[in-house]
Amino acid sequence: MSEKFLDFLLTRRSIRRFEDKEVLLDLLVKAVDVARFAPSAHNNQPWEFIIVTDKDKLEALSTMYRWARPLKRAKACIAIVTDPELSPRTHLIDGANATMYIWLALHALGLGAVWINALENEEMEKLLKIPENKTLLAILAIGWPAEKPEPRPRKKLEEVAYLEEYGRKLK
């Protein structure tokens, strides 16, 4: 079983091409529901989520950032909003945890997604009507996968993992 879970993690990909096939709202809600269980500092849960399925909104969002184009072909997106007042030091970290929970939940449901960076994007904040005191962290573009990308290159284990102290090689 544990091998299966590891394989599940290793098979998640950024999916940027989507089938022209509806994604039921229930599935999106299910993924957001899972995100409520992400870990956060002091269990503050400084997050909120906006599910967007409106085609015009998706299209508009796709033009608001150079790397947001997958939103044009997406059937839905989920915006992750954090609360700097509730967790000044960790809201972005906590929000990233929740974003990954959603991404993995979508993967478990067979849906494809890609993280679109939305930090400090005032145009996106305005379109989504994010209040001034909240932070738009990320947008996950979502749809049924129309591509099966190979894994992106990764640094070698020896380059990033040490034993007992920084810089001491594993072997």
Ligand X SMILES: Cc1cc2nc3c(=O)[nH]c(=O)nc-3n(C[C@H](O)[C@H](O)[C@H](O)COP(=O)(O)O)c2cc1C
Buried b (16+ CB within 10 A) or exposed e, 66-89: eebebbbbbbbbbbbbbbeebbee
Q: How far is the CB of 52 from ligand X (least distance, A)?
A: 16
| Residue 111 interacts with ligand X (CB under 6 A): yes or no | no
Residue 52 vs 114, nearer CB to ligand X: 114
73 contacts ligand X (rule: CB under 6 A): no
Classify 31 as helix, strand or coil: helix
Position 38 contacts ligand X (CB under 6 A)? no
| Contact residue for ligand X among 38, 104, 116, 140 (CB under 6 A) | 116
Residue 92 interacts with ligand X (CB under 6 A): yes or no: no
Distance CA 142, CA 159 (A): 33
> Between β-strands 76-82 and 135-143, what pairing exists: parallel, antiparallel or unpaired?
antiparallel
Q: Rule CB under 6 A: which of 122-161 touch ligand X?
A: 152
Q: How far is the CB of 63 from ligand X (least distance, A)?
A: 13
72 binds ligand X (CB under 6 A): no
- Residue-wise over 135-169: b if at least 16 C-beta within 10 A, else e? bbbbbbbbbebeeeeeeeeeeeeeeeeeeeeeeee
Task: Fill in the DSSP letter of residue 138.
Answer: E
Of 28-36, 40-48, 73-81, 113-121: span binding ligand X (CB under 6 A): 113-121
Kindly list the residues in this chain that would bind ligand X in the complex (CB under 6 A).
13-14, 16, 67, 70, 114-117, 152
